[in-house]
Structure formats: structure tokens, C-alpha cells
A and B are shown apart, each in its own frame.
Chain A
Amino acid sequence: MPPESDDPAVTSGGRSDPAVGIRICGLNKSFDGPEGELVALAGIDLGVREGEFLCIVGPSGCGKTTLLRILAGLEPQFGGSVDFTVDTDGKPLQSMVFQEQGVFPWLTVLENAAYGLTVRHVPKDRCRAQARDYLRKLGLSAFEAAYPSQLSGGMRQRVNLARAFVNDPAVLLMDEPLGALDEQTKMLVQTDLLRLWEGSNKTVLFITHSLDEAIVLGDRVAVMSNRPGRIKTILEIDLPRPRDALELRNNERFLHLRRQVWDSLREEVVSLESDENRAPSPSGAPLS
């Protein structure tokens, strides 16, 4: 167990005295693969501040999803420790925003949005009222009776966000939720997400493979190394809020931060690429 001062939330903190909401210490995870043991995560140390928006970027296969699934309680077996110290105030501890396919196709938009409350036996009227509130904020009011298959990808992903926000957890875990969207739609949903989050006090862990997205959204960006995954660096994103996903992209400071993150990530991607080029398989796709 590392001493207190090694905690990244404390060592790289720029703010005054941020409380740690999730403390991850020496987290290890391996899988039994066809070629023996596969180490996915090797000693993740990370302190997530309460109420912050933390983005995690890293080369594909470095264990980002695995890390999030552990935090989401979907991988019960792992080494090391994960402590949630956020103040839940009677709310659920965490909810995950899955990828687009995670929306239930057999439930209507309204039923999907209310799912978390429904399974917690919240009275039906309140389920609906709260779900409708978020659907309105996300511009989905006209579609509450529609099934997900009738929606565009961007709308489906908004339903996914609504389902997590309506559940009103202290921590939101998001695994590349916007990865499948086209660039324009992505920016619109990012703006929606920022608006929802800025009006809440939720702690967010957001995984993405897009540097722009990480910088637009995050208070900090953590860069992970190649598998076995570790936290390589953490950068403060000192862009003012509220942010606008569209305008930020031409901002000087944004471009500077983008270069910094990329410099850190590039070494990992380059070494991953050269590994793959040595193998007989075609060279890996660039980290888009």
C-alpha cells in the first residue's frame, strides 16, 4: 500500500484540498487467456477527486474497460484495493453508461430512462417525472414513446446518458460512450453531457480514445500505458467552464494541452504499433 503522498490526486493536484472520492491502490487484474495468464492491469494507483470529471485515454487493449468494469462491480475478482469514499447522500453509489448497444431495445425511451428507478421500486409516477425531466433536458421529449430502434445513434446515446443520470448516482462511469458517433453528433452530445454534469455534483470517470474529447470534457486527463495498464501521467486541464465543445477546438490553450497529452500517449502508441508490425497480422489501426 503506497503512502499517502504518492496519491496522484494529492501530488498533481492544482486545486486547494480536493477530497478524494475514489481511491484505487495497486489494482491488478489478469485473465486466463488461451495463451496462459494475461495481465490486463498491473498496479493502477489513482485518486479520483470528489466531483471531478476525470478522463482516461490509452492505447487500445491497455485495460481501460477492465478498470471501469472493476469499478462498476462487474469484475468481482482483482488484486489491490478500490475504495469509494464519495459522499453518496443516500443515492446509489455508481452507474455505468455503456456503449450504444447497452440501451434495452425492448423498452421505450421513457422506460429505458426510468430503468434505474423502476428496479429500485420507486413509485411509478416519480420514475416517470424524473425520467421526463432528463429527457426534456436532452431534447428527447417527443420520443419518449419510441423504441430505440427508431432513433438515430446520437439519440440512442442520449437515452443511455439519461438512464444513468436519472438513476442519480454519486459516480458516473462511462466507457467510450460516444465512440460510435460521427464527429458532429459527438460534439452535440458532448455539449449536452457537459451541461448535465455541470448542473450536478457528480464524480465522472470517462474513458475515451479521442484526445480532443478528453480535453474538452475533463478536469484532468489520465494517460495509460500499454498493456499491462498503468497510469502513466495525469494532466490538469485548466480550461475555464462552462465549456463549449465546438468553440474550444480553436482555443490556443486547448491546442497546447492537446499536444501535451499526445506527446505522452504517442510513445505508447508507437511502441504498440511496432509490436504489431512485427507480428504477421496487418498493422494495427491508428488510434483514431
Chain B
Amino acid sequence: MRRIEKFLVVASPVGVFALWEILAYLGWIDVRILPPPSAVAITMVVMFGEEGLLDHTAATLLRFFVGMAVGVVPGVLIGLTMGIFRWFRAFTNPLVALFYPIPRIALFPLVLILVGINETSNVIMIALGPFFTMLISAMYSVLNIDRIYRDVAENFETGPRHLYTLVTLPAAMPTLMGGLRISVGLGLLGTVAVEFLVGESGLGHVIWNSWQVLSLQRSMAGLVVSAIVGFAVYLSMDLLERYLVPWQKKTAPV
């Protein structure tokens, strides 16, 4: 990244917070509705110290990671298999077309009836979005592999194991990473959503509960922490991408 870009990455969120603070200070924003960042920050510190905000954050992160794993791993495996084997695709594609378009939140009552109100139902709800997203992107990542790579693999008489590890999987990886970025957003959304609905812990629970007792600064503090969590998770995707797709970042010498 060029230096100016690095500056802008930091400057844009800082600028928004500064503007918000100034407008609140000038009285252009009603602080009863939208407390200024300084007030939220103070509340946040108090909550970390006395109200177990850290535990709530940890609970949210744990749910998020378990839900992501439960969704992403089978999604990728099934999606790749659908891309590779025509007959498997023919068999599973109608099922995907049937279930994918259902608004996932509408499945919640069904899931609750099936597995009860517990951590399992939470994880299932969180996993659904990433599962379908990874399944679909994995399938298309295989179907869109450039024909020339298949030809090379065939010409060199590549066996099934090497075909998978040396050709199909790496060729699919950039598209999979794109799917993973979308899945991360859906996973966070799902996590906060289930915490709204049934949670006794987690940032979603803090945001919703505080709002219900009209403690806006607490609600806002929960929101800010969840935004920071999302920001960190999203940035860590860059690191993951550099690790999983190392051939892409490098540029050709001119």
C-alpha cells in the first residue's frame, strides 16, 4: 500500500468519530439519542471493569468461530465435491436451490423445535449463512477453473490425489477466499442476531438488553465492541489470504 492509502485507512474511521464528537459537543446531535464517542468510551471502560463486557466479547467470539467452522468446513467440502463430480451436482443442486433462498432467520423456530433452545441451535443458526455461501462459491470456483489447467493435468496423467491438491484446490482458492470474506460478515451477523433473540451472553445480548432498559450508552458500547471485533476479523482475512494464496500478492518486475 502506498503511504497515502495507509493514512486514509486510519483517517477515515478517526475522522468519522471526531466529527461525531464535535457535532455532539456543538449540540447538533441529541446526546440522549446518540451519545458522543467519549461518553461511550467511558461507559465501555466501566463495563469492561464491572459488568463482564470482556466475558460477553469472548462468548460472542467463541460462538462466531464455532459457527464459522461448522458452516465453512462442510460447505467447502460439499461445494468442491459438487464442482468436481457431475452426478453429485445433479443430485444436490436441486436441494441447494430449494433451501438457499429461504430467509435463514425464518428457519429459527424450526431449528429451536428440532434441537431445543441451547448453544447447538445458536451454532446451527450462525453456521447456515457461511455454509451456503461457501458451498456455492466452492462449487463455482471448481466449475470456473480454466480449461488449460485441466488439460495440463490430464496431459501429465495426474492421479486423483495430485489433481485435487496440486490443481483443483489451489485453482479454486482465490474464489474460495472471496466466499470466505462474505461468510465472515454473515457469521458475525448471525452471531449477533441469535444473541438478540435467545442469548444470555454475548455482545448481541448486551446491545439488545441495554436498549430494552433504555441504557443507550451501554447499548452503544456493545455496538462499538462488536464493530471492533468485526474490523479485526475482517483485517485478519488479509493475513489469511496472504498465507493461503501466496502467489497472488506478488507483482511482476517491470
Contact = CB atoms under 8 A, between A and B. Distances in A.
A146 B171 CA distance: 18
B16 to A, nearest CB: 36
Interface string A97-109: 0110110111100
Interface of B is mostly: helix
Contacts, number: 71
Interface string B137-164: 0000000001011011111111100100
A101 B247 contact: no
Contact of A119 (B158, B246, B251): B158
A169 to B, nearest CB: 10
Nearest to B149: A104
Contacts of A102: 148-149, 151-152
B53 to A, nearest CB: 43
A107 B245 CA distance: 11
A147 B250 contact: yes
Interface residues of A, number: 29
B252 A151 contact: yes
B49 interface: no
A98 B159 contact: no
Contacts of B101: none
A74 B247 contact: no
B252 to A, nearest CB: 6
The 4 A-B pairs of least Cβ separation, nearest first, read A106-B170, A147-B247, A119-B162, A119-B158
14 contacts: A95-B156, A96-B152, A96-B155, A99-B148, A102-B151, A102-B152, A105-B247, A116-B156, A146-B250, A147-B247, A147-B250, A148-B247, A149-B251, A151-B252
Interface in B139-198: 146, 148-149, 151-159, 162, 166-167, 170-171, 173
Nearest to A96: B155
A81 interface: no
B166 A107 contact: yes
A151 B254 CA distance: 9
Nearest to B163: A119
A104 B167 contact: yes
B30 to A, nearest CB: 54
A34 to B, nearest CB: 19
A93 B159 CA distance: 17
B253 interface: yes
Interface of A: 69, 72-74, 92, 94-96, 98-99, 101-102, 104-107, 115-116, 118-120, 146-152, 167
Nearest to B246: A147
Nearest to B173: A106
B12 interface: no
B248 interface: yes
A150 B152 contact: no
Given A106-B171, A106-B247, 13 more contacts: A69-B151, A74-B151, A74-B155, A96-B155, A98-B155, A101-B146, A106-B170, A107-B170, A115-B156, A147-B246, A149-B248, A150-B251, A152-B253
A130 to B, nearest CB: 14
Contacts of B152: 96, 98, 102, 104
Nearest to A94: B155
Contacts of A148: 247
Contacts of A151: 252
Contacts of A146: 250
B248 A119 contact: no
B173 to A, nearest CB: 7
Nearest to A148: B247
Contacts of A98: 148, 151-152, 155
Contacts of A147: 246-247, 250
A150 B156 contact: no
Interface string B222-254: 000000000000000000000001111011110
B92 to A, nearest CB: 27
A151 B146 CA distance: 20
Contacts of A72: 151, 155
